[in-house]
Amino acid sequence: FFFSSRRRHTRSSLVSWARRCVQETVNKESEFLAAFKPNTKMLWFESPSNPMLSVYDIKKITSYCKSKGVLTTFDNTIPSPFLLHPAELGIDIVLHSGTKFLAGHSDILLGFVCTNNEKLYLEMKELYPQFGACPSPFDCYLLLRGIKTLPLRLSRSQENAQKLAEYLAKNPHVEAIFYPGLPTHPGYEIQKAQAKGPGAIIAFRLKNADVNKGIKFCMSLHMITFAVSQGNVKSMITMPITWENVPRSREEMAKLGVTENLIRISVGIEDYQDIIKDFTDAFAALDKPE
């Protein structure tokens, strides 16, 4: 689910290196494999995906890519290294957003690239100073401090997310829910096999709602912040259809499952009873007459 800045960067940079970047809208592994062209050199994906939480069999995909001589790049932001080790599943290049779960407090802007391939490492090391993406010492300090508490924070967030997902699955205001920790999720077994847990991100569709009703629901929450980011110790909620930095048509968004009533939650470390009460109160606000 590329943001506009990343799309512009990949297209402009790859074109200058005589490469072509093609973005495919896929929801299933079979669509991944069908999207391959004879000249495909790299596959870039994530699992669970943002914001629909689709889960893909990473080993199956990397095995296919290796048979075709295609490099794999994996965005590990949502699961983080605490829950998923993509390199052990055959991924060549792993991306992390230090801004999200790793730092955990939404107070830095930082990302990095990892590989266990010596040749790729040396190539990236040579390019790194040319792009000028050098974090400040203080940002590195904040990231290292956050990593020390990652297992504690994400364990608590994941526990809260599981309880919230189970609550939402039974709530009459919810049309559909997407969370790999629920047995009803199509990727439930795959996630159990390849990761240590389902993570702390949930998506759901609000029943009989348009974007305005969805925003009303989000703004009726008192403890949970209406914000686009994720991975904070504080719970945050957003509506992907309102993301202005995703330059897609409504038709493309709908193909991805991003409808006007889709809501995404990044669950924090608060007491889960407080989280559920906040949701209960916000649902009750929808039932009140205008």
Stretch among 4-8, 51-55, 119-123, 161-165 having the lowest mean pLDDT = 4-8
Stretch among 43-52, 183-192, 253-262, 272-281 having the lowest mean pLDDT = 253-262
Calculate mean pLDDT across residues 67-89: 96
Give me the sign of the Cα torsion angle 71, 77, 81, 83.
negative
As given in the structure block, the two tokens for residue 64 are 């296919």
pLDDT band at 289 (very low <50, low <70, confident <90, very high): confident
Strand 71-75 relative to strand 93-97: parallel, antiparallel, unpaired?
parallel
| 265 DSSP β-pair partners | 202, 237
**Percent of the chain beyond pLDDT 90?**
73
Top pLDDT among 188 and 29 is at 188
If DSSP codes are grouped into helix, strand and coil, which group holds residue 38?
Answer: coil
| Identity of the residue numbered 69 | G
Question: What does the pLDDT look like over 209-229, one tens digit per residue?
Answer: 999 999 999 999 999 999 999
| Identity of the residue numbered 106 | S
pLDDT band at 13 (very low <50, low <70, confident <90, very high): low
Which residues are within 8 A (CB) of 247 and not within 5 positions of it... i.e. 6 or more apart?
A: 4, 7
Residue 256 and residue 1 in contact, taking contact as beta carbons nearer than 8 Å: yes
Identify how many contiguous H helices and E strands the chain contains and give both numbers: 11, 9
**Percent of the chain beyond pLDDT 70?**
88
CA dist 37 → 20, 32, 65, 181 (Å): 12, 11, 12, 34
pLDDT band at 11 (very low <50, low <70, confident <90, very high): low
pLDDT of residue 37: 85
Q: Does residue 149 have a pLDDT over 60?
A: yes
pLDDT band at 19 (very low <50, low <70, confident <90, very high): low
Compute φ and ψ for 67, nearest 5 degrees: -70, -20
Q: Can the peptide bond before residue 51 be classed as cis, meaning omega within 30 degrees of 0?
A: yes
Stretch among 40-54, 122-136, 142-156 having the lowest mean pLDDT = 122-136
pLDDT of residue 24: 65
Exposed/middle/buried for 47, CB within 10 Å: 0-12, 13-18, 19+?
buried
Q: How far is CA 262 from the centre of its chain?
A: 15
Q: Does residue 127 have a pLDDT over 50?
A: yes
Question: What does the pLDDT look like over 269-280, one tens digit per residue?
Answer: 999 999 999 999
Q: Does residue 7 have a pLDDT over 60?
A: no
CA dist 240 → 77, 168, 229, 264 (Å): 17, 18, 11, 7
Average pLDDT of the residues of the chain: 90
Q: Does residue 126 have a pLDDT over 70?
A: yes
Write down the H helix ranges in the chain: 4-16, 29-34, 58-67, 80-83, 118-131, 137-148, 150-169, 188-194, 211-220, 250-255, 272-287
| pTM score, whole prediction | 0.90
Question: What does the pLDDT look like over 176-196, one tens digit per residue?
Answer: 999 999 999 999 999 999 999
